[in-house]
Structure 1
Amino acid sequence: MSEKKKSCDCEKGSPKWMTTFTDMNMLLLTFFVLLVSMSTLDKKKILESLGSFQGSSGLLSGSRNEVSAQNIMTRINVIDQTGSSNAQTAETLRDYVKSANLSDVVSVIETKKGVSIRVLDSLLFAPGSADVQGEAIPFLRKVGTVIVDSPYYTHVEGHTDDTPSRSARFPSNWELSTARSVSVVRFLITEGVNPQSLSAGGFGEFHPLLPNITDENRARNRRVEINLVSPEFAETNKNIFEEDNGGQ
């Protein structure tokens, strides 16, 4: 009869359930941060909640990387500041649009990227042209003063309706939409905006706001969008912006 194997006197590791429990706590903490970023922020309550969370989950300490309350609050502060800056910029532009009686042709929208200024082509250009009209200059100058000293990265998009462009200068809507966005970028540069913070692109008729089935819808689709991208969003997605730094 074979001898029984001697049991190992080695120190036992952590119980198997501890790894699963720790992972679960990390997932809960991540979910908590996500909820915080999507809600109205009360920083005092958040810190209290984090303190309770950390105090009740002592197993989180050890070889795992510790996520401190201070690190989370730093990220929350960035979210706060970005949202506040975007709101102030949008409000400044809306006030100007209203005072200049441009509400029918210009709209200002806060987005997850920053602020988007949507301008109908009737303000900026003559039909089939990419030359900025004189009546658009005061508006574009205002946009320039707003962004010239700001940290925004500005991407200008040109859009058309589905009516084909067949001029010698613009054989298709690709050329027309791109030329229009470039014209706006060039104007902003003359107003002192840093060229390295600007880019331009044309989308032709392929990104309509509305179906191209009525004249009214087509008029809304012929537009230029001046997208002010917050530095926080640009940093998070810097691989997108660094490829075309300085415009295109």
Structure 2
Amino acid sequence: MRKQRRNFDEEHEEHIDESWLIPYADILTLLLALFIVLFASSTVDKSKYESIMEAFKSELTGTKIENKDSGLSIKPSDKESDEKTDQQEQATVPVVEEAQSKEEIELEQLKQQLTKYIEDNNLQAVITLQDTKRGVEISLKDVILFDPGKADLKAISFKTLDVLVGLSKTVTNPISIEGHTDNVPIKNSKYQSNWELSSARAVSVLHFFESKSIAKERLQFVGYGEYQPLFPNDTKEHKQANRRVNIVILRKG
């Protein structure tokens, strides 16, 4: 009985040595950390690489990394994001400014040429010019274009319109042709109101421009009738000023 118990104690005292598991687990952990570092470092820049090396050093030595955002994080820092945004803005803004500057230079040249033509031909009484937010606005009084109550262009208007067409071809901007009247009711069976008359006059000018090879997609028209007067319709002079067709070289922006 005592011999059997001794054999049992000897067998009980024998056990498998598991001390090898500790270094094996350490090796696996280090290998995993190495592969993560290699993967992460393939997508980072120099500063990020240095941070990763710090993390790797910490993993091997057990030292603490002071900045919780450094190391293996692939999220770019705020500074990096700001630098990239600034670079993108700097690359985009000059292109936009250059395009805008080119358009403004062309419109300024167009305005100078129009001003010279008006002055050289003493047309200040019937043609006015403005540079507005919309664009370069050329306003022609109806007396230079039409007979009273009609929308057919007078032959004497062709020379002036030819010049305006030629200058309009120096730019590629859209062109809006806008008809206006005074508040005197139309006494013509062909047009039911000043809206129809102002629209018909704008269309006549538009067709003239189109016949001179101005691209159709650049052209548009509108008839305002009596509802956008320059002056109160209280005098003959004011009514004459309100009867007009505006040719507006529109800004693209």
TM-score (normalizing by structure 1): 0.66
What is the alpha-carbon distance in structure 2 between the residues aligned to residue 214 and residue 136 of structure 1?
Answer: 26
Query: Match for residue 246 of structure 1?
Result: none
Q: Does 1:125 align with 2:146?
A: yes
Residue identity in the other structure for 1:183: S
1:109 to 121, 125, 130: 130
Deviations 1:199-244 (CA, angstroms, capped at 9, x unpaired)? 11100001111122222111111100001113x32xxxxxxxxxxx
SS at match of 1:161: coil
> For the Cα contact (< 8 Å) 1:148–1:192, is it kept in 2?
no
> For the Cα contact (< 8 Å) 2:129–2:136, is it kept in 1?
yes
Query: Match for residue 235 of structure 2?
Result: 214
Shift of 1:114: 2.4
Shift of 1:68: 2.9
Query: Match for residue 203 of structure 1?
Result: 224
TM-score (normalizing by structure 2): 0.65
> For the Cα contact (< 8 Å) 1:159–1:177, is it kept in 2?
yes
Aligned runs of 1:65-104 on 2, under 5 Å? 67-104=88-125
SS at match of 1:109: strand
Query: Match for residue 250 of structure 2?
Result: 229
Residue identity in the other structure for 1:167: N
Query: Match for residue 7 of structure 1?
Result: none
Query: Match for residue 60 of structure 1?
Result: 82
SS at match of 2:187: coil
1:166 to 187, 195, 198: 187
Shift of 1:70: 3.0
> For the Cα contact (< 8 Å) 1:148–1:194, is it kept in 2?
no
| Aligned residue pairs, count | 181
SS at match of 1:129: coil
Q: Which has the larger displacement, 177-186 or 195-204?
A: 195-204
Shift of 1:190: 1.7
Structure possessing the higher radius of gyration over alpha carbons:
2
RMSD: 2.4
Query: Match for residue 198 of structure 2?
Result: 177
Query: Match for residue 237 of structure 1?
Result: none
Q: Does 1:154 align with 2:175?
A: yes
What is the alpha-carbon distance in structure 2 between the residues aligned to residue 218 and residue 113 of structure 1?
Answer: 25
What is the alpha-carbon distance in structure 2 between the residues aligned to residue 61 and residue 93 of structure 1?
Answer: 46
1:141 to 153, 162, 166: 162
SS at match of 2:162: helix
Percentage of pairs with the same residue: 30
Gaps of 5+ in 1: 1-10, 14-21, 23-56, 234-248
> For the Cα contact (< 8 Å) 2:149–2:186, is it kept in 1?
yes
What is the alpha-carbon distance in structure 1 between the residues aligned to residue 97 and residue 235 of structure 2?
Answer: 45
Q: Which has the larger displacement, 221-230 or 77-86?
A: 77-86
Residue identity in the other structure for 1:60: D
> For the Cα contact (< 8 Å) 2:110–2:170, is it kept in 1?
no
Gaps of 5+ in 2: 1-66, 70-77
Deviations 1:36-56 (CA, angstroms, capped at 9, x unpaired)? xxxxxxxxxxxxxxxxxxxxx
